[in-house]
Amino acid sequence: MKTHTLSQELLRKMDAYWRAANYLSVGQIYLYDNPLLRRPLALTDVKHMLLGHWGTTPGQNFIYVHLNRVIKKYDLDMIYVAGPGHGGPAVVGNTYLEGTYSEIYPNISQDEVGLQKLFKQFSFPGGIPSHASPECPGSIHEGGELGYSLSHSFGAVFDNPDLVVACCVGDGEAETGPLATSWQSNKFLDPITDGVVLPILHLNGYKIANPTILARVEPEELDQFLRGNGWTPYYVEGHEPALMHEAMAATLDLVVEEIRRIQHEARVNGNTMRPRWPMIVLKSPKGWTGPKWVDGLQIEGTFRAHQVPIAVDAAHPEHLELLESWMKSYKPEELFDNNGRLMPELAELAPTGDRRMGANPHANGGRLLRDLVMPDFRKYAVNVPSPGSVKAADAHELGVFLRDVTKLNREHRNFRIFGPDETLSNRLNAVFEVTNRQWDARKQDNDEFLALEGRVMEMLSEHQCEGWLEGYLLTGRHGLFNCYEAFIHIIDSMFNQHAKWLKVTAGLPWRVPIASLNYLLASHVWQQMHNGFTHQDPGFIDHVVNKKASVVRVYLPPDANCLLSVWDHCLRSRNYVNVVIAGKYQAPQWLTMDEAIKHCTDGIGIWPWAGSSELAKDPAVEPDVVMACCGDVPTLETLAAVSILREQLPDLKVRVVVLDLMKLQPQSEHPHGLSEAAFDALFTTDKHVIFAYHGYPWLIHRLTYRRNNHHNLHVRGYKEEGTITTPFDMTVLNDLDRFHLVMDVIDRLPQTGEKGRALKQQMQAKLIEHKQYIDKNGQDLPEIRNWRWN
C-alpha cells in the first residue's frame, strides 16, 4: 500500500473530524443535556430511554469523512447510501457537521443550543427516527429494513453518468436475499451513459447477536465471491486510526482513479468490454473507538457493540463515568469552539454547496424531476363502435402507448420500464420497436433486444426491479414495474417501505415530490390458465390498501381505453404508489375513449346501456337489483349475466355499476371515496347488490362495512380455487361466472318466482354442460368463446 496519501496535517484534521462525528453520534444516543460536557456529566443529562445503534456508526463516520476528501479532491458528484441505515447517528451527525442539517432545520443550529437539540431529538418522542430516515438530508435509503442498499444505489446511477453512489453494505445485510443478488447489478450498468456504484462492504464482523458469514469464511473465499460477482475488491483492514486513515485514503484514490479510467476507456476510447468495477472491503471493529470492556464483557469488536453499548441509569452509577470518559476520549474541546461550533479548520474539510452529500440534489430527486413528454393517449384509442363489438388485448394497446412514451423521452433519458422477465409476455412488445433491454454481459446469436443501453431493465429478481425503480424514482426520474400479479408479492415488504417513505416525505416541505411508483400487473389471476394455481393470487391489492390512503391508488380498468386513460394519469402523478391490473388477452371492449375518460375521471358509474332499458329511459325508476363489478374479467362476466337476465327475466330492472376499488371507501378515509349520498344513489339503500370482484371478496366487505346497504352486498371473487384449466372455468371454480351471478340474483330476489326458478335450473344445467364440454374438448363452450354483448 502506498503511504503518504495524507499529509500529517490532513491526517490529523481528518482524524479530528472523524472524532467529531463519533462524538456527535454518542451524544445523540445518550445525551439529553450538557452537550459539550462543560460540567461533570450527571444522570439528569442522560436520556431515560437509550435507543440507537452504535456498532455500525463509527465505521460509517469513517467512510463519510473519507468520502468528503475524495469529493473535494476529484470534484465528485457523490451521494451516500447507508445500507445499515440503523447508523442514523452517523448520517445525521455528518450532515450536521457539513452544515446541511442546520440549513434545512434552522432550529438545530451549529452552536451549543443546537447541539443540545440535535442530541435530544434523536430517538426521542417528537424527534427523529434512529435510521437514515427521510428526515435526514442526503438520504434516499432509510435502511431500516436491510437488503436494498445496492439496488437503490444502482437505480440512482442509471442515466446519471456523472454520479457516484458510495454504498455502505452491512456484512449482515449482505446475507439477505435481495442484497446477495444485487451484486449482479453490475451486468446492467452502461459505463457510457450510467454513473457508478462504489460498494463499501462494511466487514465489522457482526450482526445483532451473531457473527456474519462473510466475516467468517476464509479471506480467499470472500475474495472469490466478490470477484465471481464481477467486482475487483480492495481491502482496508485494521483498527489503528492513523494507519487506517492512510489506508482508506490511498485506497479511495486508487478506486476513484480506476473508476475514471474505466469511464474514460468506455466513453472516449469506445472500449465496451464489461468492466470489473472496483469496490472496497472495510474490515474494522464493530463499535470501533467505543468502550472496550463493560462489566467484564468485551464490547468493541464484538456483536455486543451493536446497539447501546453501556446501559447508563440509576442502577449503574459507575456507567455514567464510563460514558463520560468515552465521550471525552474524542477530545471535544479540540473539535468545537466556545460556542459549540465545529472548528473552522475542520469545517473546511467538508465539500461545499451541492457537493455536500447532504445537499446533493440527486438525494432530493423531486428537485431534478422534469415532467415526461406525453403523447396524447387519446390517439391510441381502440375504436369501439358499440359496446362489446370489438376485441383487443388491453396490455398490448398500452404497450403501443408506452412505446411512444419511451420514444418521446429517449433524449431526456428519464423513463425506464422494469420487470423480471416479462415485458414480452405481458404483451408490451411494442416498446422493443424503439428500445432494447439493457445488458452488459456477453451476447450471443439468437439473443433478442439486448444492448448496452436500453430503456427496459430485466433481471429475474423482483427485488432488483423494485429496488432499481425506487432508486430511479427517488433521484428524480420516471418508470414502471411490470410483473405477474401473483409474484409481485415478493416485494410486498419493499412496497411497504417505499409507501412509508412517501408518507413521511409528504410531511417534509423541503422534500420535493417525486414521480409515482407505478405497477402494471398484466398477467393476473384470471389469466393464468397455462400456469395454474401457483400463479393465481390477487392478494397484492389487499396488502396495498393497508397503506395510507394519501399514498396508494389501485386501478382495475375494465378495458383498453380505460387502461390508457389510467396510465396517462399515473405517469403524470406524484408521490403515489399506483397499482394497475390489466388483462393481456383479447377481450371485449366496452367504452369509446370519450366514455372511458369520463368513466376513469369519475372512477365509478352506471353503464346505462348495459342495464335495463327502463332504467336508462327514466333515472327516477328504481332498480330491482344492482350488478356491480370491478376488474376486466368480472366486468365481462357481469355483462354476460346481465344479458341472460335481460333476455330471460325481461321485467327485472337491473342496474350495472362499474367501479374502481378506491371508490368504495368512505370519503373520510380515502380522497377517492364516495360520499354517503353518492354511494346510496348508486347502490341504493335497500336493494340487493351482486358484486363481481377481481380479487379476494372479503376486501369489498372490508371497504364497505360502514355503508348503508352493506347487509345487501353479496360479493363474488377469487376464493383460492385454481388450477390449469380454461379461462371461463377459472371463473366457474370461484363462482364468479355469469351462470353463478344469474343464480345469485334469483336466490336474492324471490319475486322472480317460477320464471326465476326455471332460469336457475337452466343455469345449473349450463354449468354441467360446461364441465362436460371442457373435460372432453379442453376448451370452453363455443357459446362462451364466441359470446358477444348485443
Candidates 165-173, 344-352, 534-542, 673-681 — which segment interacts with ligand TPP by CB under 6 A? 165-173
Give the DSSP letter of residue 11: H
Residue 752 binding result from ligand TPP, Mg ion, none, given CB thresholds of 5 to 8 Å by partner type? none
Of residues 208 and 242, the one with the C-beta less far from Mg ion = 208
Nearest by Cα to 138 from 182, 99, 107, 170: 99
What nine digits make up the cell of 375? 403523447
Rounded to whole angstroms, the Cα distance separating 756 from 773 reads 25
Report phi then psi at 133, rounded to 5: -75, 170
CB of 169 to ligand TPP, least distance (A): 8
Which residues, numbered 421-450, are part of the site for ligand TPP (CB under 6 A)? none
Rounded to whole angstroms, the Cα distance separating 781 from 763 reads 14
Nearest by Cα to 362 from 85, 137, 83, 87: 137
Nearest by Cα to 350 from 9, 725, 13, 773: 13
CB of 22 to ligand TPP, least distance (A): 15
Candidates 112-120, 140-148, 192-200, 535-543 — which segment interacts with ligand TPP by CB under 6 A? 140-148
Q: Binding ligand TPP by CB under 6 A: which of 173, 458, 568, 744? A: 173
Of residues 214 and 606, the one with the C-beta less far from ligand TPP = 214
Q: Binding ligand TPP by CB under 6 A: which of 97, 108, 115, 146? A: 146
CB of 152 to ligand TPP, least distance (A): 14
Residues in contact with ligand TPP, shown as a per-residue x/- string from 508 to 537 under the rule CB under 6 A: ------------------------------
What nine digits make up the cell of 481? 414495474
Rounded to whole angstroms, the Cα distance separating 112 from 120 reads 12
Rounded to whole angstroms, the Cα distance separating 456 from 450 reads 9
Candidates 205-213, 348-356, 476-484, 645-653 — which segment interacts with ligand TPP by CB under 6 A? 205-213
E strand spans, 694-768: 713-716
Of residues 491 and 659, the one with the C-beta less far from ligand TPP = 491
Candidates 141-149, 314-322, 498-506, 725-733 — which segment interacts with ligand TPP by CB under 6 A? 141-149
Residue 202 near ligand TPP by CB under 6 A = yes
CB of 393 to ligand TPP, least distance (A): 38
Of residues 305 and 689, the one with the C-beta less far from ligand TPP = 305
Residue 172 near ligand TPP by CB under 6 A = yes
Intra-chain end-to-end CA distance of the chain, in Å: 81
Nearest by Cα to 646 from 607, 611, 692, 681: 611
Residue 172 near Mg ion by CB under 5 A = yes
Residue 204 near ligand TPP by CB under 6 A = yes
CB of 551 to ligand TPP, least distance (A): 21
Q: What three-state secondary structure class fits 31?
A: strand
- 509: exposed, middle or buried (Cβ count in 10 Å: 0-12, 13-18, 19+): exposed
Residue 632 near Mg ion by CB under 5 A = no
Rounded to whole angstroms, the Cα distance separating 640 from 761 reads 17
Residue 712 near Mg ion by CB under 5 A = no
Rounded to whole angstroms, the Cα distance separating 240 from 222 reads 23
Candidates 201-209, 494-502, 554-562, 756-764 — which segment interacts with Mg ion by CB under 5 A? 201-209
Candidates 207-215, 316-324, 461-469, 543-551 — which segment interacts with ligand TPP by CB under 6 A? 207-215
Nearest by Cα to 702 from 557, 546, 524: 546
Rounded to whole angstroms, the Cα distance separating 171 from 306 reads 13
Q: Binding ligand TPP by CB under 6 A: which of 27, 52, 84, 695? A: 84
Q: Binding Mg ion by CB under 5 A: which of 60, 139, 204, 364? A: 204
Which distant-in-sequence residues (6+ apart) come within 8 Å of 647 by Cβ? none
Rounded to whole angstroms, the Cα distance separating 459 from 575 reads 25
Residue 207 near ligand TPP by CB under 6 A = yes
What nine digits make up the cell of 321? 463515568
Of residues 204 and 360, the one with the C-beta less far from Mg ion = 204
Secondary structure in 3-state letters for 518-580: EEEEEECHHHCCCCCHHHCCCCHHHHHCCCCCCCEEEECCCCHHHHHHHHHHHHHCECCEEEE
Secondary structure in 3-state letters for 398-421: HHHHHHHHHHHCCCCCCEEEEECC
Asked if residue 467 lies in contact with residue 182, where contact means CB atoms within 8 angstroms, the answer is: yes
Determine the residue with CB nearest ligand TPP: 170
What pairs with residue 7 in β-bridges? none
Edge-to-edge order in the sheet of strand 604-606: 604-606, 654-659, 625-630, 688-693, 713-716
Residue 208 near ligand TPP by CB under 6 A = yes
Residue 87 near Mg ion by CB under 5 A = no
Q: Binding ligand TPP by CB under 6 A: which of 110, 186, 212, 709? A: 212
Of residues 286 and 714, the one with the C-beta less far from ligand TPP = 286
What is the full DSSP assignment across 448-459?
Answer: -SEESS-SEEE-
The distance of Cα 42 from the centroid of its chain, to the nearest Å, equals 44
Q: What three-state secondary structure class fits 444?
A: coil
Interface with ligand TPP: number of residues (CB under 6 A): 21
Rounded to whole angstroms, the Cα distance separating 693 from 524 reads 13
Q: Binding ligand TPP by CB under 6 A: which of 35, 147, 332, 605? A: 147
Q: Which amino acid is at 392?
A: A
What nine digits make up the cell of 772? 362436460
Residue 146 binding result from Mg ion, ligand TPP, none, given CB thresholds of 5 to 8 Å by partner type? ligand TPP
Which distant-in-sequence residues (6+ apart) come within 8 Å of 13 by Cβ? 345, 346, 349
Residue 35 near Mg ion by CB under 5 A = no
Of residues 172 and 727, the one with the C-beta less far from Mg ion = 172
Residue 56 near ligand TPP by CB under 6 A = yes
Of residues 177 and 671, the one with the C-beta less far from ligand TPP = 177
Of residues 497 and 518, the one with the C-beta less far from ligand TPP = 497
Of residues 28 and 635, the one with the C-beta less far from ligand TPP = 28
CB of 196 to Mg ion, least distance (A): 24
The torsion region of residue 265 among left (phi > 0), alpha (psi -120 to 50) and beta comes to alpha
What is the full DSSP assignment across 605-619?
Answer: EE-TTTS-HHHHH-T
Candidates 31-39, 166-174, 419-427, 707-715 — which segment interacts with ligand TPP by CB under 6 A? 166-174
CB of 110 to ligand TPP, least distance (A): 28
Rounded to whole angstroms, the Cα distance separating 167 from 181 reads 15
Of residues 146 and 641, the one with the C-beta less far from Mg ion = 146
Residue 173 binding result from ligand TPP, Mg ion, none, given CB thresholds of 5 to 8 Å by partner type? ligand TPP
Residue 145 binding result from Mg ion, ligand TPP, none, given CB thresholds of 5 to 8 Å by partner type? ligand TPP
Residues in contact with Mg ion, shown as a per-residue x/- string from 117 to 156 under the rule CB under 5 A: ----------------------------------------
Nearest by Cα to 748 from 647, 625, 622: 625
Q: Binding Mg ion by CB under 5 A: which of 45, 77, 142, 171? A: 171
Of residues 147 and 365, the one with the C-beta less far from ligand TPP = 147
CB of 463 to ligand TPP, least distance (A): 11
Residue 176 binding result from Mg ion, ligand TPP, none, given CB thresholds of 5 to 8 Å by partner type? ligand TPP
Rg (the chain; Cα; Å) = 30
Please report which helix (H) or strand (E) contains residue 198, including its range. strand 196-202
The contact set with Mg ion (CB under 5 A) reads 170-172, 204
The contact set with ligand TPP (CB under 6 A) reads 55-56, 84, 86, 144-147, 170-173, 176, 202, 204, 206-208, 212, 286, 306
